[in-house]
Structure 1
Amino acid sequence: MNGSAGMLSQPGRVRGPTFQLHRLAEDPAGAGDGAISPDGTRFVASSRRTGSLNLWFYEIATEQWHQGTRGAGDDIEAQWSPDSACLAFTSSRCGHKAVWLYRLHEARISRLTFGPYDEEYPNWSPDGSKITFVGGGWAQRQVYLVSATGGPPMPVTDEPGRTGACTYLPDGSGLICHSYDTGASAVSILPLDGSMPRQVTDGSTWDYKPTVSSAHPVVAFSRSLEGRSVIWVQQLAEPYRGRALVVEAGDDRWPNWTADGQHLFFHRLVDRGVGIWVLDRRTDTVTQVVGPDEQPRYGNISPDGTRLIYAAEESGRSVVKVREISGGLTKVLPLGDAAFPQWSPNGRTVAYLTRDVSRPRWEIATYDLATATSTVWTCGVTWPKSLHGPLDWSPDSTRLVFSTDTEPFEADLCVLDLRDGSVTKLTEDPWWDEAPSWTPDGTGVVFLSTRGGDWTWGFYRMDLSTGEIHALARPDYIEKNNPRMLPDGTLIYSLAVSGIEDLFEQLPDGRGRVLSSVGPAVRYPVPSRDGSMLAFTRTHRTVEYWLAKNVWGAGSPIADLADGDARRRGTHGPQTRTGPVRSPVNTRRR
């Protein structure tokens, strides 16, 4: 990295210097949530470099990392005090999320909030005397203010709701927040004088974590339509009109300004498939079937155990391919933009997710291998906000179980019956249920859920005859994903400890072990129907930290927003949507 990514210019109106976009650093153990210091000389971010998720500092001039906090629990969402002497951050080290302070010169931490529910998203007032945060149970959250020296928090909002993160306006007169009460997410200004809030975005997209520049009356936030986020900047005086800072890259999130309002910092999530392997559980041998050149995502084994069907990246799209496990030619199925392919147990049909310009959301489809015809099943089902994978077939090849978003950060399990095209709900409650799969005997469904409370995750089994739900793995803050049950009752899933994902085998009696022969970075373990083989994906995941310098200078895609004449200069509003919006939260990064 060249020296131009070092110290930033001093505060002042920047119009002459040219816009520059720099990748400052990357961290394979990172969790995002970075914040740049007010003077722009360094940033703080969360990282699992030593196991626990702690705060780390990156010095921009020297390109060096050094550790801040230590200890168990997740330390995340750090924000600088105006004088750069202290950080307010969220930590789960006390058992649930609370706001803590880290005094840099003393390297000392202290707890600031003591509520019975999760408290998170701290942010400092411009004079450093107060800290705002959000607390309460889900859908019953409120915005609070607390003195930076401690004391009882005072609510800012009159009624609880689905409130997200807030930051102060530069003059301290109010907060700018995002909330999920529109069915997606909207940004609003919340005055501190008791007057009515003013909505800034129209709530048709996922707009979250807003922050206002001190140089110009513009707000930056993350915006997602379907999939990745972009950093969006728009004027406060002309609601709903703005522009993306970067459009051709990756999943960009959580912008924050330097104190002078001239430079914008954000992080980028990068997630690429590096291969699909097959484990023969009878011989404990592992064979690579798909290489990193295809950037594979998800695969599973045909019922006869000879072929692998998988999704891979090709020219910016997700395509579905079939390959002989023993080697040979690869066949691309004519499914268009498709993901999460799944063989039927009888081997005659492939289920998958598909979308095109006429279908703004992903839909569930099947492909008949004998007749080479596709059927899209869910276009007429309008109540789900989105449909997403993985899917799983019932043992008799007549039904598909899947997860669908129903409200912001809530998802239910559903079953599509291919005999009559009906879709019915298995769960309907305020939790996030995902990654369902059938039990081998077809009497139940195994799934991942937040129904443990406090946004922790566990595995559960639903008995379809009674509707009863039983815990298979107790909820906790350890990341567990994609449970699959084998015929003997063994549960297979990926387990992330210290940021490294391993394949985990949990026996029916509750004992378990890591399958060390498989290796790290395991995603989407999918067993064959008899449990003798297992396909899994390995991925490369990293967090990159970027700095947009001189965003009001020549060559900047958002420079004209500073002039207050965005409409005349052709600034456009958000993309028009004709369908529902899916949450941008990637539940792999909980």
Structure 2
Amino acid sequence: MDLGARMTSAETCKLGASVDGAKLRVQILKWFHQGRISRGSRAPSVVSITQTNKEHPPVASQAPMEPTGTIVFASFGVSRFGFDVFSVAVPPAAPDDVPDAKMLDERRHTDGVSVNFNAQFADDASDAVAFVSERTGAASLFLSRPGSERPEPLPAAEGSLFHDRPTVRGGRVYFVSAHEKPDRPFRSWAAVHAAGLGGEGGAVERVTPRGVVDMSPAVSASGELVAVASYGDRPWAFDFRVLETEIAVFRAADPARRVVVAGRGGWPTWHGERTLFFHRVADDGWWSVFRVDLSPDTLEPTGDGERRVTPPGLHCFTPAAAGRGGGRWIAVATRRKDRAQRHIELFDLETERFSPLTELLNPDLHHYNPFFSPSGGRLGYHRFRGAGATGDSVVPYLQPVRSPVRSIRMLRVNGTFPSFSPDASHIAVNGDFFATPGVMVLRSDGTRRWTISKEPSLFFTTWSPTERGVVFTSAGPIFETPKATVRIARVEFDPSELTDDRKEVSAATVRALTRPEAGNDAFPAVSPCGRWLVFRSGRTGHKNLYVIDTARGEEEEGGGAAVRRLTEGEWIDTMPSWSPDGSLIAFSSNRHDPANPAVFSIYLVRPDGSRLRRVYVAGPEGSAEADKERINHVCFSPDSRWLLFTANLGGVMAEPVSGPNQFQPYGDLYVCRLDGSGLQRLTCNAYENGTPAWGPSSAGLGVEAMSLGAPAGEDPMGQFDEPLWLTCDV
């Protein structure tokens, strides 16, 4: 057995104890002659080793096992969207170009269940609408017909966690799915697929060629032509605000023969069979709509190629055109300097003037992604359904999310940085980074929540495994420099006050464990014995890992050092996690490329600072892929055999400008073994997923039953931001 094998929890709690050097050398010699360690193995420097861990042999010798348990995590914003699909009547041109709001006749096409978005009218001349919904725990496809109480599922890719942009044409439905894994990391999984409707149809066929990434498909009214925003076969360039996609077109009957009609652009829409509109950022910095006319024979651009349609001075994106052509309007989503909301406006191709639509009806709400009916008589979009509207009206404390691994239950939490109580019956969470309350506790079935501390500047939670009423956190501003004042804090409360007749505990205390002058101390993780905290500190000017006592903090006892340094270097070591068996600490670091603050990988170290090693996930040591990893929020499985983390390995699934703000829309959850093998993707969507916690299978039991009635949750729904990088200060 190698000295790098795991220690038990009891051994971990001997941190700081003196080591009898002679006895240790004798024991090492015994292990060497028994073949249990190899020449060159390092002994731990400050941890007494009293026994080998027979229960947990080295990972390499273990039989492969599926990861199990309950994972709780946060998805940025989506729980608050409350989107439904609506449409209005397209008004006739008026002399002043301002339609009468009374004539718009806004209708809701979806039922208020979950989040419903990115719709298109079906081509059967009715008000039937194909749309995406999160109601199944993942982005799935549905068709809503007038007069029907419930939408009907559309054909979709089995096992896919992500579907987008459905379009029904000629008895087929085209859509984006992400169920096929690329042959290498850092490529989006997004590709266009199609399936027949009714009869013997339903078999899903890939339309996008293998090795190519396509998003935002548009199908012409005849169903014969398809346009996409495509990465082609290029790897992801790590762009996530303005995607460097091109506009490609092809015949539905021959998708392998493509023509690139615009070198930069996204969100194409057909105007008849010979004209495409699309958006991109113009050279002057404004998102604008462009037009390209195509040869019906070759599909090549005609005339002077692409040309700008909308003027500078406002942002115009996600255009829609009447599919059968002939109309004078296109519809665009706009952002103007004097307005915080995104609204849908009509743009007259003849007069080059805008006419407001949604601002006349719902001036204080954001409206997204317009689409025309086949006749051009109605214009659809999605928006927050509104306070008081029928349908879901609260943000659930916990939501079941579809898991691709049967042995793992996944729950989306309304909050950030969750952690399980010792018996997994409760979950500690933070609220919004910038608002109160700072620490809350949920029942792990999602039925009740209590406020523990109302201090707004608390972030991160880790629950003591030995003290049911103690949660550790960070107090101060998040995302700050090494010398900013952020302190490790101990939150104590009486767990007997977590009763159904209360909403908050009465006498919680928050006590700082680190000195204010020490700098940026954050992300504490407690040892399984409950005695030690490992945390990240910027006290030297660089963010490294340190260990303190969970009760005394930096208070010195008997003249001994109160803080022990675990890592050291001019790089960032952050977000540590202590394995449940006590043998390892995992953390994220850019020590392999200290000058690059955008790359982070997983590292493992023993609690005494020995046996530090990197876990290679994207590729082997020395590969180009390995040095592109951005991995954070790492934690262990309950059996200490797997790692859970947020990573950029799957790229971006959809155009970020088409939805509300996501700081890192490429962030998805993955698991792998401690040696980097067995990589599995757990989430796949257009949101930022992160801050996970991994508890036992017993945690979260009963959450699925909440779908039978109104979920426990909070108001208000409908609060979210436009992309923060989208500015009118151009």
Is the TM value for this pair above 0.5? no
Greater gyration radius? 2
Name the one with the larger helix percent. 2
TM-score, length of structure 1 as denominator length? 0.44
TM-score, length of structure 2 as denominator length? 0.37
Name the one with the larger strand percent. 1
